[in-house]
Each structure stands twice: as structure tokens, then as C-alpha cells.
Amino acid sequence: MNSKTVKVLTPGPAGALECALDLPDGEPRGVAVICHPHPQQGGTMDNKVVQTLARAFLQLGYRTVRFNFRGVAASEGAWDDGQGEIDDALAVIAAHRDPALPLVIAGFSFGGYVASQAAARLPEGAKAERLVLVGPSTQKQKVAPVPEETLVIHGESDDIVPLSATLDWARPQSLPVVVIPGVGHFFHGQLALLKNLVVRSWHR
């Protein structure tokens, strides 16, 4: 993401997982773990939306952790139909979270599904401070119910995950969804706005 990004390998359930770490200026206020889009559709931790989320959390003072799911780039293992990928996220969270600092879990598209499921599986007393789901894969995957303070952002013109699918998922939870008018799944031309929405939601 920048010249200060540090790449490390973290032990995972199917082998080593490639992670990219970025440190804020000064003492971190927390740790943010970010999950990338579908591995079988070209998703990696270097996806532009994932990097945008990392920049937002870095600006907010979080230590950010992006990682590649099993079988992607330098991460070992093979695609596991979305189940092992949740275990990958939990392994990265366990390795990189600081018990003394708040944890944020974020995800884009398929990564939003993984983030929701990983967050739901964390034990009581070790839950995330907050979740951020961008264009979560609510049509093809079973996105878990999330806490009421979760930030959900979706493009109005998303042609990969219809906005209606995310509204159908959010409705039973009375969960607000931030909708960006005229924007597609990958937020082309609106990444700065996406970053600002995340930053502003924290300042509120």
C-alpha cells in the first residue's frame, strides 16, 4: 500500500498466510483486520477497496492488517468454499490482535461475508469493537447477523451484489445501510468518498 507496508507470513489452519501490516503515526488506537473479495474471482489483499479501507483505518489511528486467503499469492493451501476462509480470518485475528486494544473487522464483497462470520465466532469478552462491511456478498453467501453499530456501505448500482439483497438481509435486523447513489460494486471513481464515509462514521 505504501513504502512502509510490512509483509509477514502468519500461521494458518492450511499453511502460512501472507499478511500486509501498516502502522499509524504514534500509538495505535486499535487493530483493524480487513478481508478481501472472492479468491476465485481475482480477489486479493491488494484490491483497491481493501486498500481504501486500510487507508481509512490508518488515518483513524489503527494498525491495519490485510491478508490473502489460502491459495492466494503467497498464502498456502487451497480454496475451501468459504468455510476454511473464515478459519483463515480467525487465525489472522488471533495472531495480530492486541488484547489491550479494540479490534475492528472489515470486509469487501466476499470478504464482508467472511468478516461477519468470523466476528460472530469470536468468544464473548473478545468481540470486535465494530464491523465495517462494504458491498457484502449477501446474495450468494450467508452473511451473519451483525451488531447494531455495524457500518454497512453499498453502491446503488451494484451489478455483482444487488442492493436489494443487502436490504433484504439488513431489514430483519433494522440495520441501516449507507447507499452511494449511482455507484457500482467496485466503487470506481468514488474510493475517496468511501474512505471519507468510514472516517466520518468514526468521528460521529
Per-10-residue mean pLDDT, the chain, length 204: 90 98 96 98 98 98 98 98 98 97 98 98 96 98 97 98 98 98 97 98 85
| The CATH homologous superfamily of the domain defined by 6-203 | Alpha/Beta hydrolase fold, catalytic domain (3.40.50.1820)
Nearest to 136 by CA among 156, 154, 117: 154
Residue 3, pLDDT score: 78
* Residue 98: burial class (beta carbons within 10 Å; 0-12, 13-18, 19+): exposed
Q: In Å, how far are 60, 74, 127, 201 from 25, measured between CA atoms?
A: 10, 28, 25, 21
In the chain, the amino acid numbered 67 is F
Q: What are 201's three cell numbers?
A: 462514521
Environment class of residue 75 by beta-carbon count within 10 Å: exposed (0-12), middle (13-18) or buried (19+)?
Answer: buried
The rounded distance, in Å, linking the Cα atoms of 2 and 104 is 21
pTM of the model: 0.98
Cβ atoms 92, 17 nearer than 8 A: yes
pLDDT on residue 203: 81
Report the pLDDT value the prediction gives residue 204, as an integer from 0 to 100. 67
Residue 111 Ramachandran class (φ > 0 left, ψ -120 to 50 alpha, else beta): alpha
| Residue 72: Cβ-neighbour burial (10 angstroms; 0-12, 13-18, 19+) | buried
* CA distances from residue 189 to 31, 135, 178, 180, 200 in whole angstroms, order as listed: 28, 15, 17, 12, 19
Identify the pLDDT of residue 88.
Answer: 98
Dihedral (CA of 164, 169, 172, 176) sign: negative
pLDDT of residue 74: 98
- Confidence (pLDDT) at 16: 98
